[in-house]
């Protein structure tokens, strides 16, 4: 009987303990344990590549891949500013007070493509009609750009869902350039050498006194700089302690200026009877003003907060 009573009492104790533990687990943590405080810092990662990738899984996109990894580029939503979308960016934040923070975003974009092509060795073919020798032509494409922004934000509310408003300064730049090198030299005998590069790509505009001409280098996009102001508004939800999911819309007003665009070319001059190279201006310097919104409803990011004292 004593053993039976002991078993029954033990069972009741266990059964009583389970509801108490479950109750404790269900108790919510106070909002203060989720939110950052003065002195904390954070790193943001853009969720846009992931959401874009998941969306493309269901819309039949065949070339689905991750792009634009990193922080929060401000210009990606504007059609005119797509070239300034950084491929990699780092976004950081420092909490000056519990409700005010400074943040910085640095983005970089660099694309370097080098393509080599075989073509007939014209000199060897001239010396021997049965020659199979080849030379190499090279086409290089460089696309570089970057963005830098520093801003302040104010947080509204003391709960796990907070409003965000703020603004700051923005600078960005971009440039695209092509370079060409050829295995067959231009000579008096061979004024229009064979090339493995697509002639539509390598042939320069006609010049008086030249039977043919080819590019040595050229800007496909004038080097452009942007400087201006950006304002943003959004929402941040702390779904875990010091980890949040946020979304925001921003608007930017930026002045832009471009350098003169030119190309370098070469050809055989019928006037001088020699190979000549020259630099030709295609467009002068220019400037303008852009105003528009970016990342409308799509600037989604995950932010991780860290406390230096813990």
Q: What is the pLDDT of residue 106?
A: 82
225-205-274 Cα angle (round to 5): 115
**pLDDT for 299:** 66
Domain residue limits, the chain = 38-306
Q: What is the pLDDT of residue 78?
A: 40
pLDDT averages per 10-residue partition of the chain, 310 residues: 44 43 53 89 73 50 46 43 51 93 85 94 95 97 86 94 93 90 96 95 94 94 84 92 87 86 95 94 88 57 80
Enumerate helices (H) and strands (E) in the chain, giving the number of each.
Answer: 4, 11
Q: What pLDDT does residue 175 have?
A: 87
Rounded CA-CA distance 249/272 in Å is 61
Q: What pLDDT was estimated at residue 294?
A: 54
pLDDT at 89: 63
Please state whether 242 falls in left (phi above 0), alpha (psi between -120 and 50) or beta. left
Reported as half-sphere exposure (CB side, CA atoms, 13 A), residue 67 has a value of 12
Q: Which pLDDT belongs to residue 73? A: 44
With contact defined as beta carbons under 8 Å apart, do 237 and 171 qualify? no
Say what the pTM is.
0.70
């Amino acid at each position: 009987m004593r053993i039976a009573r002991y078993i029954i009492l033990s069972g009741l104790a266990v059964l009583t303990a389970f509801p108490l533990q479950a109750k404790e687990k269900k108790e919510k943590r106070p909002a203060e344990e989720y939110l950052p405080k003065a002195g904390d810092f954070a790193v943001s990662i853009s969720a846009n590549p992931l959401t874009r990738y998941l969306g493309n899984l269901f819309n039949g996109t065949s070339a689905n891949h991750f792009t634009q990894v990193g922080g929060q580029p401000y210009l990606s939503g504007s059609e005119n500013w797509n070239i300034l979308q950084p491929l990699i960016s780092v976004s950081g934040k420092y909490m000056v007070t519990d409700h005010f923070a400074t943040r910085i975003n640095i983005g970089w974009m660099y694309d370097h493509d080098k393509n080599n092509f075989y073509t007939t060795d014209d000199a060897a073919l001239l010396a021997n009609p049965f020659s199979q020798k080849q030379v190499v032509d090279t086409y290089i494409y460089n696309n570089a750009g970057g963005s830098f922004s520093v801003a302040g934000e104010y947080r509204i509310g003391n709960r796990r869902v907070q409003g965000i408003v703020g603004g700051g300064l923005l600078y960005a730049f971009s440039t695209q350039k092509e370079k060409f090198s050829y295995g067959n030299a231009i000579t008096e005998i061979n004024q229009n050498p064979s090339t493995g590069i697509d002639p539509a790509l390598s042939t320069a505009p006609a010049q008086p006194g030249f039977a043919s001409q080819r590019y040595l280098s050229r800007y496909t996009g004038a080097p452009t700089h942007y400087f201006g102001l950006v304002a943003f508004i959004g929402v941040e939800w702390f779904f875990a302690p010091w980890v949040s999911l946020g979304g925001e819309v921003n608007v930017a007003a930026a002045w832009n200026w471009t350098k003169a665009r030119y190309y370098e070319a070469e050809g055989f001059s019928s006037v001088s009877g020699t190979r000549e190279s020259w630099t030709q201006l295609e467009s002068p310097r220019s400037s303008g003003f852009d105003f528009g919104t970016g990342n409308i409803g799509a600037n989604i990011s995950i932010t991780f907060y860290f406390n230096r004292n813990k």
